[in-house]
Amino acid sequence: MRLILAGGGDATRSSKVDSFYRSLNPGRRTIACIPHAIAPAEGAWEGAERWLLERPALKGFAAHTIGDLAGAEPATLSSFHSLFVMGGNTFTLLACVKAAGFGSKLRAVLDEVPIYGTSAGAIILGHDIESAQVGPEPDENTAGLLDLGAFDLLGGYNAYTHFAPEQSRLLADFCRRANRPCIALSEAAGVFVEDQEITSIGADPVVIAYPSGASVRLEEGHTIRLLAFTEDA
């Protein structure tokens, strides 16, 4: 399993994360794009592809939107350089994923293709998406989701994106209230996760916060192991 989580920055802020991403699966140049965090109306998904491919690190790549998540076959997904799960409304994204049964398809290719999630796309890789409701601009649950459980690929941790230092208190309060550790990513931060080891790959450090109030600051290039977390930990 190889995951990249990014905080949701633009091409400039995410340049280091994108460059690392490019290096995965050399020789493959087509990205499977999952843009379901935004509505498909009025060419929005095509615009999302253009937004992705305008990133300098992805020059020469092509993107293919997987519009029909229910019909996506693991054999097809595994032929791509990677799956890129885009940002937008986290509740909309998770609702689409759940309705299509896409979770089982994604898990079927975890050992074959990397997954890059940015903003909402990073949040759904965690234990649940409750962290999307935290911060100065929380996502609205327009989908009416009651079950916020997500892919849980981070050993029981959640992801918190668009993080800024002045939100440290909000982050700590959330971890304590939810009894859940959280990987906080600024818009210039990113992590690479492989075999439960997490490496900081962006321009900004990553903050890992725990329900106890403790936190770890992970500078670029540094790696730590994500210890599996349970409710009773």
Q: What is the pLDDT of residues 170-189, one digit of tens each?
A: 999 999 999 999 999 999 99
Average pLDDT on 132-149 reads 93
- Model confidence pLDDT, tens digit, residues 29-78: 999 999 999 877 767 888 888 889 999 999 999 999 999 999 999 999 99
**Helices H, strands E: what count in the chain?**
7, 12
- Whether 48 and 83 have beta carbons less than 8 Å apart is answered as no
In angstroms, rounded to a whole number, what is the distance separating the alpha carbons of residues 39 and 169? Answer: 32
The CA-based angle 48-196-95, given to 5 degrees, is: 40
**CA distances (Å), origin 133, targets 91, 115, 160:** 10, 23, 10
Nearest to 88 by CA among 48, 128, 28: 48
Percent of the chain clearing pLDDT 90 (strictly above): 88
The pLDDT assigned to 228 comes to 67
- What pTM, to 2 d.p., does this model score? 0.94
**CA distances (Å), origin 3, targets 31, 153, 198:** 14, 9, 9
By the 10 Å C-beta count (0-12 exposed, 13-18 middle, 19+ buried), 178 is classed as middle
Which domains can be identified in the chain, with CATH numbers? 2-225 (3.40.50.880)
Beta bridge partners of residue 190, listed in sequence order: 6
